[in-house]
Structure 1
Amino acid sequence: MAQFDGFGEFLAAHTEAWSRLAYVLAGSHAAAEDLLQNALLKTARRWRTISGYDQPEAFVRKVMYHEAISLWRRRQRLDERPVAWLPESPVGHEADSAVRRIALDRALARLTPRQRAVLVLRFYEDRSVAEAARILGCSEGTVKSQTAHALGRLRTLEPHLAELITEEV
């Protein structure tokens, strides 16, 4: 169908990166799959228009950020909470790294969706404050304050991860 010309190639080129982003935003593989699926459905419906954009992949990322916020709100209504879990006796450097990753994932899951989206944009995607503000549709001051609040909350939730959390806002 002419309506979907180039859509398959577009997916093949970007799906792996979007899957990683969805996992960071959603906090679990199942939620990440739902998040990415919803974003791609919205993209497919408007593909004829989106394919003409300079950076159509940016549209998908923006939809993912907004879907992550919606997912978080639905979870709040259902009072669904992530289960806290850490291995009891890790051994060696690899285990330390795994424990830190689990602790960080657990702490990220307890942030607001806006704070989580800001941290993903700023530190996972290495976006500037201006870029993050444009993507999220808010002011640069909001991005800076949300970044500061999110980093402070991470320090409170997981103080032993302080060396991973920089002051850079």
Structure 2
Amino acid sequence: MTFEEYAYARGPALIRLARLLCGDEHRAEDLVQDVLARAYARWGRIARTDRPDLYVRRMLVNAHHSWWRRPTNREATVAEPADTAGAGDTAAELAERDELWRQVRALPAKQRTVIVLRYYEDLDDTTIAEIMNCATGTVRTHAKRGLDALREHQRISTTGVC
């Protein structure tokens, strides 16, 4: 597969992953563009791997984490109106979806990455571990902590107990 074929076929999925990771459509597009530019320079080596998509996804996750490490990139993203709503969604469903997404975005970076890769990208723990360059047990730990935080927030908001 040539780089152009790969970029054309997987570009939208990479942008979706980046958008879920960083929560900002424009920054996601910039992130994917940077990653694809770096991948293009190494495409001969990447294409020879068993799973080039896994390699590029790892580049994307690493680039996202590196971006946040830079002191100049501590800006906060603002919530956008949900543009993925279905025609039959009610206001309550939209509000619930928006609140859940705000809570996912509030998770620490690694927990958010695992939650996005597992539940939005539908990847298994082994693949996520390869993308994040960590052990599968670490993936499960981040997933458990992230889900626990989301459940705790849900419990607090439902019962009103702090």
Greater mean deviation of Cα atoms: 102-111 or 28-37: 102-111
Match of 1:81 among 76, 85, 96: 76
Conserved in 2, the CA contact under 8 Å of 1:107 and 1:158?
A: no
Give aligned-pair identity as a percent: 35
Matched pairs, number: 153
Q: Distance in 2 between matches of 1:86 and 1:28?
A: 12
Q: Distance in 2 between matches of 1:158 and 1:85?
A: 21
- The equivalent residue for 2:57 is 61
* Shift of residue 99, structure 1, vs aligned partner: 1.9
Conserved in 2, the CA contact under 8 Å of 1:100 and 1:161?
A: no
Deviations along 1:15-63, whole A, 9 cap, x unmatched? 1111111111110101211221121111011012112223212111111
- The equivalent residue for 2:151 is 155
- The equivalent residue for 2:85 is none
SS of the residue 2:49 aligns to:
coil
Inter-CA distance 50–84: structure 2 relative to 1 (3 Å threshold): closer
Conserved in 1, the CA contact under 8 Å of 2:54 and 2:130?
A: no
Match of 2:9 among 3, 10, 13: 13
Stretches of structure 2 that go unaligned for 5 or more consecutive residues are 83-87
* Shift of residue 93, structure 1, vs aligned partner: 3.4
Conserved in 2, the CA contact under 8 Å of 1:69 and 1:113?
A: yes
Conserved in 1, the CA contact under 8 Å of 2:35 and 2:59?
A: yes
Q: Distance in 2 between matches of 1:151 and 1:8?
A: 38
* TM-score normalized by the length of structure 1: 0.77
1:115 pairs with 2:105: no
* TM-score normalized by the length of structure 2: 0.79
